[in-house]
A and B are shown apart, each in its own frame.
Chain A
Amino acid sequence: MQIHKHEVIIVGAGGAGLMAALYASKNGADVAVVSKLYPTRSHTGAAQGGIGAALGNLDEDQPIYHAYDTVKGGDYLADQNAALVLAEGAVEAVIELEHMGLPFDRTPDGKISQRRFGGHTRAFGKELVRRACHAADRTGHMILQTLYQNCIKQNVNFFDEFQVVDLILRDGAAVGVVAVQLATGDFHIFHGKAIIFASGGWGRCWSVTSNAHSMTGDGAAIALRRGIPMEDMEFFQFHPTGIYKMGILITEGVRGEGGVLINNKGERFMERYAPSVKDLASRDVVSRAIYDEIKAGNGIKGKDYVYLDVRPETVNRYFAEEGRKERIDAATVEKKLPDILDFCRTYLGIDPVREPMPIQPTAHYAMGGIPTNVDAEVLADAAGTVVRGLYAAGETACVSVHGANRLGTNSLVDLIVFGRISGIKAAQYVKTAEWQELPADAGKEIQAEFKRIRASKGKTKPYELRKAMQHTMMDNVGVYRTDATISKAIEDLKELRHRFLTDISIDDQGNRFNTDLMEAWELGCLLDLATVTALSARNRTESRGAHSRDDYPQRDDANWMVHTFIHQEGSAQEPSYRIDTSRKVDTSLAEKDERFVAKKRVY
């Protein structure tokens, strides 16, 4: 096996990975970015509406308001120290992105333009605030491009289309990763002093998702198998507005610009669920409202979707009703939401300035993941023991800033703020850390697993198992769950996992670009993450944020202001799981300010 030696190894080249690479590199570390995709293919590029930062360019705003919205949006499960780091870091980070060349839209006086977004308010919930800094409806694309451009300028080392498949630990410290070079099928070892996982989420566990095919949670699954716990896996966000059946995301920015949700009676139903901010309530609230409407027979044509209406006549009618002075026309919609119009015209053959869009909630974002502290250091247990040399940032990590439900725009804020912190901290760490030798058997186990998949002569194609997993997760561990549905999913997953280990076969026996083999291996990652998601969901007997239990409909602050840590133990063939809920939510802001104390969440 070829061995590459770099001080900091970064797994993944989306927003968090590139930000980490820039900052580790600027702070003097020798960096390698290892990514299964070309960096510009990463899913950060699909983020649309904006990145939240209390710049106050259009409305009075302060980071503490942003922190408040983040905590409230997270249904009080977010760690409050982390939420403050996020909100305060956001301002500096967005200014810095502009300095790196990011082409934000501008206000008439030339500042960064900002728009309204779900759950973002001024003065502790007083009114909606324009906080989402945007570049049309392709803000994530601009962030990804700008960071990649700056990495080229900075001469960062890239290993593109190298898929990381294992983590190497020695005496409890991270010393490297194993990767498959897709072009050759060869295994390579990346030996480092520090490893940063910035490998994204696992939306492909569900059948309707906004996530790319490549969002298979590889980094998180690898960590889980190597004894790192997963935190708060039961909290997975369903974005309210995915294109019906396809799941493609329609940004909340549509509602930020005045778009409204309409049921089959032509009613703007969010007025009933969130009288104050209506369509711009938090995502969990809106997704549940859509499910409730569908259940009550108010889906369009009796089916399981509703309309998102951004036709100027509709928007202006509601603006007038609310006494708002602004008005929009078709040209404004074209200018501010060009990609959304393009998606609808391409995939649905409908023009959103003339017709409403059919939408349904779509699996979108993992609030949980690899546990870290606010320095992006990975935690080995609920007590907060740090794994030396191991860092995580972005969607794959759980700091936790998003708590039980992430606010719109905060994924991009998270990438930038904690991506940067992970890069700086890793660069500091490698200055004093000694090189550790690789274990003699590094890479052997994962090579054996690939050999097994290749040689397996079963009856089942991996895609059949994947489909079955996605459907059971959608039906049983979706927007609403109960003990019975989750238990059904756990049984299904157990059987699917067994078949994955004993009864699959693949067609491609070659080495070069063997995507047949890689997809089969990725399915194993998804099955492991789906399993710990379902187990964590069954264990939490309350409803909070994105975790809505019909059998436990209330939030239970007396017992559940704690994070879930789930450990996978035993062998890969017959793993056992251990859940630890001893880690309390950080409430350091609430200790000083009553407004941060958990209370009923009303929008």
Chain B
Amino acid sequence: MDVTFKIKRQNPELPGKDKPYWQEFTLKDVDPTDRVLELLHRIKWEQDGTLTLRRSCAHGVCGSDAMRINGVNALACKVLVRDVGNKVTIEPILGLPVLKDLVVDMEPFFAHYRSVMPFFISSKPLPEDGRERRQTQEDRERFDDTTKCILCACCTTSCPSYWANGKYVGPAAIVQAHRFIFDSRDTAAKERLDILSEPNGVWRCRTVYNCTPACPREIQVTKAIGEVKLAIRKGSPEGIIKVTEIVERVVNS
């Protein structure tokens, strides 16, 4: 089958192409089971080498090729063309500055990630026998879903609250924090909950739910955010005080 791609392009270093513009490419002999990534490669290799995108593993585990495909965030390597039809619109993910074509500046995204203390902290002594810490299967299961995150940014850049306010930490950072907050071995849940109860933390989430279907790893993102909100309300007194302050500030403003 023939497939037409309409791709949003931009190259800030090239006069005339420094503003976003659309360009169409048509590919012949497309197999319905071809991945969108393969077809973008075909365009790059056979028609226009200047088309620029990130990619690496090509099977949905490295998180490089997040983009908007027919208006929905996805990894290009996890979308088959038969699922999106023979007219495909491709845009960079929204809410991050475009560096060139489909490549966006990921630094603001990773800065939010780093802000939630995304690393294991334990003040408990290590087991005396020199072996692993013990954890029950149930405790391990508690945070399994959020360990799957590959930091592709599909969730964060599908979030209207993030589009409106880039200071919001965004769903991915909350998912990463969730992975540690609910890990029975970790002892810094309170610090993370404090960070996330700040004005640009979880309360910017309006439960729009765009994030969950956008996740290529099928993480229940909205649920994880909800659990963090609940933990702030229930688990940490300081968190509740901060919530009250925020409510007051909003009411008084």
Query: Residues on A close to B: CB < 8 A?
Result: 37-38, 40-43, 45-46, 55, 94-95, 98-101, 103-106, 108-112, 135-136, 138, 141-142, 145-146, 149-150, 152-153, 183, 212-214, 246, 248, 339, 342-343, 346-347, 349, 461, 463, 506-508, 510-516
Contacts and interface: CB of A to CB of B under 8 A. Distances in A.
Given A246-B59, A339-B61, 17 more contacts: A37-B64, A40-B62, A40-B151, A43-B56, A46-B59, A101-B186, A109-B134, A110-B136, A110-B137, A111-B131, A153-B119, A153-B121, A212-B58, A347-B35, A461-B46, A506-B49, A516-B52
Given A100-B120, A516-B44, A516-B50, A111 B100 contact: no
Contacts of B122: 101
B227 interface: no
B16 to A, nearest CB: 13
Interface string B41-81: 00011101110110111111111100000000000001010
A212 B58 CA distance: 6
Contacts of A248: 58-59
Contact of B57 (A45, A99, A110, A515): A45
6 contacts: A43-B62, A100-B120, A152-B119, A461-B45, A507-B49, A510-B14
Contact of B99 (A41, A95, A146, A513): A513
Contacts of B14: 510
B120 A46 contact: no
B126 to A, nearest CB: 6
A177 to B, nearest CB: 21
Interface in B109-138: 110, 114, 118-122, 126, 130-137
Contacts of A346: 60, 78, 80
Nearest to B103: A513
B12 interface: yes
Given A43-B57, A138-B148, A213-B58, A98 B133 contact: yes
For chain B, give the interface size range. Answer: 35 or more
Contact of A510 (B13, B119, B131, B149): B13
B140 A106 contact: yes
A178 to B, nearest CB: 22
Contacts of B44: 515-516
B134 A111 contact: yes
Given A149-B119, A212-B58, A101 B183 contact: yes
Contact of A101 (B78, B136, B185): B185
B72 to A, nearest CB: 15
B120 A512 contact: no
Contact of A507 (B50, B106, B218): B50
B27 interface: no
Contact of A343 (B59, B130, B179): B59
Given A45-B61, A46-B59, A213-B55, A142 B147 contact: yes
B11 interface: yes
A512 B59 contact: no
B143 interface: yes
Contacts of A138: 61, 148
A491 B122 CA distance: 59
Contacts of A183: 99
Contact of B56 (A152, A212, A246): A212
A61 to B, nearest CB: 14
Contacts of A146: 120
A103 B140 contact: yes
A38 B150 contact: no
A152 B132 contact: no
A46 to B, nearest CB: 5
Nearest to B149: A145
Interface in B78-119: 78, 80, 99-101, 103, 106, 110, 114, 118-119
A508 B17 CA distance: 13
Contact of A103 (B134, B147, B151): B147
B45 A463 contact: yes
Contacts of A108: 137
Contacts of A101: 119-120, 122, 180, 183, 185-186
Nearest to B140: A106
Contact of A150 (B12, B50, B120): B120
B33 interface: yes
Given A101-B186, A103-B143, A38 B120 contact: no
B140 A512 contact: no
Contacts of B78: 346
Given A153-B119, A461-B45, A508-B50, A95 B100 contact: no
A343 B57 CA distance: 13
Given A45-B62, A152-B114, A212 B57 contact: yes
Nearest to B62: A41
In order of increasing CB-CB distance, the 10 nearest A-B pairs are A101-B120, A507-B49, A110-B134, A463-B45, A149-B119, A516-B49, A153-B119, A98-B132, A212-B57, A508-B50
B175 to A, nearest CB: 12
Nearest to A43: B57
Residue with the greatest number of chain A CB neighbours at <10 A, chosen from B78, B120, B133, B148: B120
A49 to B, nearest CB: 14
B99 A135 contact: no
A183 to B, nearest CB: 6
Contact of A461 (B49, B61, B149): B49
Given A40-B151, A41-B63, A98-B132, A149 B186 contact: no
Contacts of B147: 103, 135, 142, 145
Nearest to A112: B132
